[in-house]
Amino acid sequence: MTPEEFRRWGHEAVDWAADYLSYPEHYPVLPPVEPGGLLAALPENAPEEGEPFETILADFQNRIVPGITHWNHPGFFGYFSVTGSPPGVLAELLAATLNNNGMLWKTGPAATELEQRTLAWLLNWLGLPRDWFGIIFDTASTSTLHALAAARLHAHPATRVDGAPPDLVVYTSEQAHSSVEKGAIALGMGQRNVRKIPTDDAFRMQPGSLREAIAADRAAGLRPCCIVATVGTTSTTSIDPVPEIAAIARETGIWLHVDAAYGGAAAVAEEYRHVLDGCEQADSLVVNPHKWLGTPVDLSAFYTRRPEVLREAFSLLPDYLRTAEEDRAVNFMEYGVPLGRRFRSLKLWFVMRAYGRKTVADILRQQIAWARELAAEIAAHPDFEVSAPAPLSLVCFRMRGSDDANRALLDRVNASGDVLLSHTVLRGRFVLRLAIGNWATRRNDVQHAWSLVRQAAAAR
Ligand SMILES: Cc1ncc(COP(=O)(O)O)c(C=O)c1O
């Protein structure tokens, strides 16, 4: 592709993106496709000769876009909605253009230092200690895996050389995200060694049960290694009592990791800063700007106040990666599994600067207000019930009736193409989840979703 062709097709691609971002609601949220549909439509082998870019772009529009689930749609209320804001999209284009690999400071001085600066900015927005060490990973699952690895090394320093002993135990709540258990599996700690602490009526970890579990394990000769608390659980956005949990971690000397992947973002608004109460005492914490902070997937911010432990867990510097600056600069490859590193901080920098904290805070507080308004309307409706407290922007609810009736209701609502809701199971019952988080969503989109739910329930 010549520079002139690049310019031409670049303009074409940006025009397409601008149109798409103006009207994502022109598409059904869920594409009307079946598994294998695209596979059958694509040639089995890549072309021997290059194809005209026009054909490739046309196929993108005609074959790929029809198979896309539109997370940009303002009616996307499933899972945790995300936002790839326009400034973030442009940063992705520029980051791909630079194609910088920031594995070492030397291979990406600006990428390394922008990562340090933007992550410190984010700490400030969240009201967390400014001196924590931050590093960007792809996802919260990866961040939590690194927390577990650091916690393990902290509990048993010989792990690095000798491998992990079989008696290290991880504590989290029964509502924690599956990435905690998956991390323990991946690190060879074993599912057997993950304790899922019971939760209270509001789905928050019970500190008393945590304390008992630790004591029982110690009495049985096992070694408690890491506690993972959650600020904003996946099913309900419940917020574990981190101050009490931190006190237990301190008394027992156990590493405390906080999974604030979604919920931590709320702290950008002053009146929700309390969601991170106690987190300043954590050993590590993850928050995902790619969830609720307008940053395109993927960007997970991982923080620790013990970077030396993380480094001890992962640093391995072969001769060919040694540099003259290593005593004066951060080489991020020493703090995690990946060597090669995308220039992710650029998009966070663009987003934070383009919106500013006040606008971001306004968006988040507005979304939380809509969720509360919706929860109140649902609670007041005779045919529905709210299934969990809604402290943030997610409402869990169900129609009075059987699980099967609620499953059918969800299918009917999602078949509209206007919205996507997801589900979870709480205390054994099937529950619908309506998660507000897309920055393109407006109050009337939430109201429209609720009216579709009522209509679908009435049409039974
Ligand atoms: C509380 C929580 N933690 C972790 C994750 C995993 O996030 P990721 O997809 O970035 O690995 C999720 C995903 O929704 C989540 O809700």
Tokens 């520029």 belong to which residue?
A: 94
Residue 38 pLDDT: 97
Give the closest residue (by CA) to ligand 1 atom 16. 234
Question: Is 276 found in the same domain as 205?
Answer: yes
As a whole number, mean pLDDT of residues 190-219 equals 98
Q: Judge whether 323 lies within some domain.
A: yes
The distance of Cα 442 from the centroid of its chain, to the nearest Å, equals 22
Give the closest residue (by CA) to ligand 1 atom 7. 140
Q: Phi and psi (nearest 5°) for 421?
A: -110, 160
The closest-lying atom of ligand 1 relative to the alpha carbon of residue 176 is 1
**Of 306, 298, 230, nearest in space to 264 by CA:** 230
Question: Is 139 found in the same domain as 28?
Answer: no
The distance of Cα 242 from the centroid of its chain, to the nearest Å, equals 19
Q: Report pLDDT digits (tens) over 420-449.
A: 999 999 999 999 999 999 999 999 999 999
CA 293 – CA 82 distance, rounded (Å): 8
Q: Judge whether 94 lies within some domain.
A: no
Cβ < 6 Å from ligand 1: which residues? 80, 139-141, 177, 179, 230, 232-234, 259, 261-262, 288, 300
Question: Is 116 found in the same domain as 250?
Answer: yes
Q: Judge whether 95 lies within some domain.
A: no
Q: Judge whether 57 lies within some domain.
A: yes
The closest-lying atom of ligand 1 relative to the alpha carbon of residue 144 is 4
Residue 391 and residue 237 in contact, taking contact as beta carbons nearer than 8 Å: yes
Reported as type and span, the H/E element at residue 135 is strand 133-137
CA 159 – CA 179 distance, rounded (Å): 22
Question: Is 214 found in the same domain as 327?
Answer: yes
What's the CATH number where 31 sits?
A: 1.20.1340.10
Question: Is 308 found in the same domain as 159?
Answer: yes
Question: Is 144 found in the same domain as 285?
Answer: yes
Domain boundary among 317, 342, 367: 342
Question: Is 219 found in the same domain as 293?
Answer: yes
Q: Phi and psi (nearest 5°) for 227?
A: -110, 130
Question: Is 140 found in the same domain as 223?
Answer: yes
* Ligand 1 probe mutation, 259, 284, 394, 422, most atoms within 8 A of CB: 259
Q: Judge whether 25 lies within some domain.
A: yes
3-state secondary structure of 439: coil
Question: Is 50 found in the same domain as 24?
Answer: yes
Walk across the sheet containing 168-173 and list its strands: 133-137, 300-304, 284-287, 255-259, 223-230, 168-173, 194-197
* Cut 0.95: pTM above it: yes
Q: Report pLDDT digits (tens) over 99-112.
A: 999 999 999 999 99
As a whole number, mean pLDDT of residues 83-111 equals 97
Q: How many domains does the chain have?
A: 3
Helix, strand, coil percentages (3-state) for the chain, rounded to 5, are: 50, 15, 35
Could you count the other beta carbons within 10 Å of the beta carbon of residue 155?
Answer: 20
The closest-lying atom of ligand 1 relative to the alpha carbon of residue 290 is 10
CA 10 – CA 394 distance, rounded (Å): 38
Give the residue numbers spanning the domain of 205: 101-342
Q: Report pLDDT digits (tens) over 7-54.
A: 999 999 999 999 999 999 999 999 999 999 999 999 999 999 999 999
Residue 298 and residue 139 in contact, taking contact as beta carbons nearer than 8 Å: yes
Q: Judge whether 64 lies within some domain.
A: yes
The closest-lying atom of ligand 1 relative to the alpha carbon of residue 138 is 10
Paired tokens of 170: 């991880």
Ligand 1 centre to CA of 383 (Å) is 32
Residue 254 and residue 306 in contact, taking contact as beta carbons nearer than 8 Å: no
Q: 69: buried, middle or exposed (CB in 10 Å: 19+, 13-18, 0-12)?
A: middle
Q: Report pLDDT digits (tens) over 119-128.
A: 999 999 999 9
Question: Is 321 found in the same domain as 369?
Answer: no
Question: Is 182 found in the same domain as 305?
Answer: yes
Ligand 1 centre to CA of 79 (Å) is 10
- Whether pLDDT at 460 is above 90: no
Ligand 1 centre to CA of 141 (Å) is 6
**Of 390, 393, 400, 459, nearest in space to 431 by CA:** 400
Q: Judge whether 220 lies within some domain.
A: yes
Q: Which residues pair with 226 in a beta bridge?
A: 170, 255
Residue 286 and residue 258 in contact, taking contact as beta carbons nearer than 8 Å: yes
Reported as type and span, the H/E element at residue 395 is strand 394-399
* Ligand 1 probe mutation, 143, 179, 284, 287, most atoms within 8 A of CB: 179
Ligand 1 centre to CA of 182 (Å) is 12
Residue 61 pLDDT: 96
Residue 245 and residue 272 in contact, taking contact as beta carbons nearer than 8 Å: no
Ligand 1 centre to CA of 412 (Å) is 27
Q: Which residues pair with 18 in a beta bridge?
A: none
CA 113 – CA 104 distance, rounded (Å): 11
Ligand 1 centre to CA of 265 (Å) is 13
Q: Phi and psi (nearest 5°) for 286?
A: -125, 140
Tokens 């019971």 belong to which residue?
A: 198
Ligand 1 centre to CA of 288 (Å) is 8
Q: Hey, what amino acid is at 61?
A: Q
The closest-lying atom of ligand 1 relative to the alpha carbon of residue 79 is 14
**Of 360, 370, 361, nearest in space to 444 by CA:** 370
The pLDDT confidence band at residue 96, using thresholds 50, 70 and 90, is very high
